[in-house]
A and B are shown apart, each in its own frame.
Chain A
Amino acid sequence: MKSSLTFHKVIVGLLVIYLLIPLVGTFLFSIAGKWDHTILPESYTMDWYIELFQDERFYDAFRRTLFLIVMSVGLSVVIMLPTIFIITVYFSKWEGLLQAAAMLPYGIPPIVGAVGLIKVYSDGPIQIAGTPWILIGAYFITILPFMYQGIRSSLRTINAVQLVDAAELLGATKFQSFRTVVFPNIISGILVSTLLSVALLFSEFAFANLLVGGRFETIQIYLADKLNSSGHLTSAIVITYYSMILLLTGIVLKLTFRNEKNPVVSNKKRILSFFKKQHCNKNTAIEGEK
């Protein structure tokens, strides 16, 4: 019993180390001065951060990325939430169709998607190729699976159909029953989907590069550009925007759960699992970028 517990602890420990090493490495590199033939850096400096924070391009890129994310995630919530709710509760026979549509983005590699999008939107009635708007559209599609799965499973968990039945029998209109009964119970699910999408879009490079490239420099394009000049600086960028995501996530979570008198256990679990996923995202991102 005791030895097996130790064994579990060792496994968990190794996993944590495995996940943290790239992050810690990146962080050390971002504050390292000379670091050639020693295990830890020989000297430390904040120069890279100073250089970064004095660069107007960094702030612009950050703002652009935030703009894209807020627009596409916002649009996604505004459109997908009512859609999924209405289909699940009132038109369940079309659920399969919606599910298939929501899963499509998984099947299309960004390069293929980007080439197609450029072709379609370079002429014809909607000429938005090369503008941020096409990127917002592409991002909307990219995060569709996350939004769909998150919202739908929240609706399932609370048995939304029956709650709506009950509310309507008690005299609520369809909209009232959504607002007072369904929405408060799936808010945490929506939040998790949203945060996951934000984290995903922060590290999105392929679409941004192919669709708009230097014309609308996002944080990832800025990062790719700096990759050629200094590894230290790119590490500083990565650490900075991770910290930003973490801060953002923390604030949103805190705001949402502060007023919640009734934090259901499953919410906590979902958020824990979200953090795990985000962690994986980060690490793959680091490895990909270095």
Chain B
Amino acid sequence: MNYVTIDQVTKGYENQVVLNDISLTLKKGEFATLLGQSGCGKSTLLRSIAGLEGVDVGRILIDGKDITNLSPRQREVGMVFQSYALFPNMSVFDNIAYGLKMKKVKNIKSKVKNMIDMVDLIGKEESYPHQLSGGQQQRVALARALVMEPKVLLLDEPLSALDAKIRKSLQKELKRIQKELDITTIFVTHDQEEAMTMSDRIFVMNKGKVVQSGSPSEIYTSPVNTFVAKFIGNYNVCNMEVFHKLVRSTELKGNEVAIRPEVLQLVSAGEDSLDLQENWGIKGVIKDVSMTGNVLRYEVETDESAFLVDYLHHRGEMFEQGARVHILVPKKECIIL
């Protein structure tokens, strides 16, 4: 049973299409991520679900109910903004209680208390937003949305204004709370790593379209096109003709071949014991070595194009710049696009 359904939604401004015939469905309790570069339409889609933007064509359904033409307040969705959008004139408690007061709900106090407990802000009830850190403010924003028990929680790049360490810990916490409440969540981000860690399902968007959807590992290991391959995992994407020349074989067919940098292996040029049953060998020279802490990234220049090769950073195993090497390309890891 689909809980959220986006049915052929299209939206444009003047002469520009922002959402181009988007259809997707979510199950109850699913954590879905809209992933894409800025301007791909992911935030617009989220705002359309919230009712903050209208759509030109198409329908949006939540829990079987068509909400396409309802105002934001009738939609029973909660939203967390990148810039928090807390009410500066209200304390943490009043911010969280705001929606309940508007709905004239009973037991406001205990509900807000529970929520403050859940987002770990005990002792901050009487503080004002400007007295809190960015991470704390975002917890308040999250609590404010969750206390309304929305059918769907919308998160618009909620963590991108925070520094790396706090972001990592809030990622975990967000995921924990989401599982605990079993709340259907749509998360928008441009950070593929964040999308990978948090999502049950990822929708990769480009130019107003969903180009691929699937579990994080599906998206990562079998990208459907060059855009996804490059955006999601730094794939080496190589033109097929060029690839044929490099490996001196025309075994693979198709337009392009994509290979993840971490499945490639480097062997010194002098070594003879190459396993050419399972792999192809490409001659090259190390052009550059960069390190991101645990990963060493080699840029290897071949006759035709450059390849990225990732290695886990082990002590003492390092190729120098300018070293002549063979790149071993595992045949089964080549993805044809």
Chain A residues at the B interface, C-beta cutoff of 8 Å: 158-159, 162-163, 165-173, 176, 180-181, 184-185, 261-262, 264
Contacts and interface: CB of A to CB of B under 8 A. Distances in A.
21 contacts: A158-B88, A159-B83, A159-B85, A162-B85, A163-B85, A165-B81, A167-B102, A168-B73, A169-B51, A169-B72, A169-B78, A171-B73, A171-B99, A171-B102, A171-B103, A172-B73, A180-B87, A184-B89, A185-B87, A185-B88, A262-B89
B77 interface: yes
Contacts of B73: 168-173
A169 B103 CA distance: 11
B99 A162 contact: no
A169 B79 contact: yes
A170 B99 contact: yes
Contacts of B148: 170-171
B144 interface: yes
A261 B131 CA distance: 13
A262 B72 contact: no
A165 B72 contact: yes
Contacts of A171: 73, 99, 102-103, 148
B143 to A, nearest CB: 12
A4 B72 CA distance: 58
A166 B99 CA distance: 10
Contacts of B88: 158, 185, 262, 264
A165 B85 contact: yes
A172 B102 contact: yes
Given A167-B102, A169-B79, 4 more contacts: A162-B81, A170-B145, A185-B87, A262-B130
Which range holds the interface residue count of chain B? 20 to 34
B98 interface: yes
A181 B148 CA distance: 18
Interface string B297-324: 0000000000000000000000000000
Nearest to B88: A185
B14 to A, nearest CB: 11
A93 to B, nearest CB: 11
B85 A264 contact: no
B128 interface: yes
B166 interface: no
A215 B157 CA distance: 64
Contacts of B72: 165, 168-169
Nearest to B147: A170
B82 to A, nearest CB: 9
Given A162-B81, A176-B102, A262-B128, A168 B87 contact: no
B52 interface: yes
A264 B71 CA distance: 32
B142 interface: no
A261 B128 CA distance: 10
Most buried by A among B102, B103, B130: B102
Nearest to B78: A169
B34 interface: no
Contact of B87 (A169, A181, A261): A181
Given A163-B85, A264-B88, A169 B128 contact: no
B50 A170 contact: no
B94 to A, nearest CB: 10
A163 B52 contact: no
Interface in B63-106: 71-73, 75, 77-79, 81, 83, 85-89, 98-99, 102-103
Contacts of B83: 159, 162
Nearest to A166: B85
Nearest to B77: A169
A170 B89 contact: no
Nearest to B74: A171
